[in-house]
Amino acid sequence: MDEQALDKRVSELGERITADYRGKYPVMIGILKGSSVFMADLIRRIPIPMEIDFLKASSYGAEAQSSGNIKLESDLSIDVKDRSILLVEDIVDTGNTLKFLLNRFESMGAKEVKVCSLLDKPDRREQRIVADYIGFEIPNEFVVGYGLDYDQKYRNLPFIGILKREIYE
């Protein structure tokens, strides 16, 4: 996906989220580090009052495939009880991280929790997770750029591209 396609789709998602969350004062929670670029662009397109926060959860490390073990490295700084939450994710792959987080926010008493993911890779799904807002559905390829990385590299690319297999195999 080139810069123009990303910009157009982020604007469309922002319009939908604005309409759906008007009057709710949502908490937008970015899942670090991958969602950072997407979330920064997205929140600038949502002109309603909101709070933002971040947490860091991972199941990849330096690998090209999810380990399935979720590691919560950094938690929220605000209380989510009785709040409308929008989790902002870079990619829904296996669904393991989102399943973990959705269960966690439910146990914390969130009023509602929805998911906005830039990318959706349904061919890799292990959990029954469906994002409420999806930027693009992609095939089962390892992608980098626009916040997505491989071993902490390539996040700063302004586009999303498929990483050559010889780099990660």
d(CA 154, CA 144): 6
Q: For residues 89-126, b (16+ Cβ closer than 10 Å) or e, as one string?
A: bbbbbbbbbbebbbebbeeeebeebbbbbbbbbeeeee
Q: 78 Cβ partners below 8 Å, 6+ apart?
A: 27, 51, 53
d(CA 2, CA 26): 30
Cis peptide before 164 (omega within 30 of 0): no
Q: Note if 149 is an active site residue.
A: no
Among candidate residues 7, 20, 53, 93, the one labeled active-site is: 93
Do the bridges between strand 84-92 and strand 27-32 make them parallel or antiparallel, or are there none, so unpaired?
parallel
Q: Judge contact between 13 and 116, C-beta under 8 A.
A: yes
Residues that are catalytic: 93
